[in-house]
Amino acid sequence: MSTENDLSQSFGARLATKMREAGPVCVGIDPHPNLLAAWDLPDSAQGLEKFGMTVLEAVGEQAAAFKPQSAFFERHGAKGVAALETILQEAKSAGFLTILDVKRGDIGSTMSAYAESFLTPGAPSEADAITLSPYLGLGSLAPAHELAVKHGKGLFVLALTSNPEGASVQHSQNAQGQAVARMIAEGVAQWNQPAREAGLMGSFGLVVGATIGSAAQDLGLDLGAVNGPMLAPGVGAQGAGGAELSQVFGHDLSLVLASSSRGILKGGPTLAGLQAAFADTLAEVKQAVGC
């Protein structure tokens, strides 16, 4: 059923509610071979499924969202993708929000096909939101944006990533001195204008690494003007905590959805261990964002 005209049921509105009620932490489901070994699970489709289901069971009611990393499942071929589908469907049945980390980016009918794979209700790999790469031009993502609007889904567009190589593209400027990352942020802000007019958080956010320091300010990005969620990977194992979040997002911390994978997953395989690691992460993030 289309939710195009009901912004109160859109991904942004639902995520904002979860962030207020549960706290602004997204848990990555990244079944890295080293983590599987530490959990005494086989590096197989069965191991991946057990890994993901354990994470959902441990912190499902406490997390704002879950972010499975598609690549770790895809490397096992069709059986690995089937495990991912099972995890996504279990999360949906339980009422948990999912952000599928696929970082797709293409043009025309190919972009449409990617969008249909993940954003169509009832699709085997359906998620509430996906990550996208805009480096064929933000306009190339129009098919995904249109489908997300139609079905009340969300998109997270790569803007300022924490890998050193990202700066060579994201920080580069056009003839008017405007950084690529700033152009992306301003384009996504336009996508969220209807939600802004309705007084809601938009469904279209940015991926902004929690370890980028002052880059957003240095490049002139107005993150608050985007009016969408800021997915901030790097919390925990990559070294970012409350101080880093405050430096990166400044006055816009209310939009931050802090993403932690290894920092929480290292607490497994026991439910109690995962819950304790999640609680530590949540407490630090809440302190940083003032909630």
| Contact call for residues 46 and 275 (beta carbons, < 8 A) | no
107 Cβ contact partners less than 8 Å away, ≥ 6 residues apart: 136, 140
What are residue 181's phi and psi, to 5 degrees? -60, -35
| Contact call for residues 242 and 192 (beta carbons, < 8 A) | no
Q: Is 103 a catalytic residue?
A: yes
| Contact call for residues 195 and 155 (beta carbons, < 8 A) | no
Please pick, among 92, 103, 266, 286, the residue that the annotation labels catalytic: 103
What are residue 204's phi and psi, to 5 degrees? -115, 115
d(CA 99, CA 27): 10
Between vectors from CA 286 to CA 280 and to CA 288, what angle results, nearest 5°?
Answer: 105
| Contact call for residues 104 and 114 (beta carbons, < 8 A) | yes
Q: Would you list the DSSP string of 198-236?
A: TTS--SEEEEE-TT-TTHHHHTT--HHHH-S-EEEE-BS
Three-state SS at 83: helix
Residue 282, both tokens: 């949540």
Three-state SS at 19: helix
What are residue 232's phi and psi, to 5 degrees? -115, 90
d(CA 169, CA 20): 34
Residue 139, both tokens: 């306009």
Residues with active-site annotation:
103
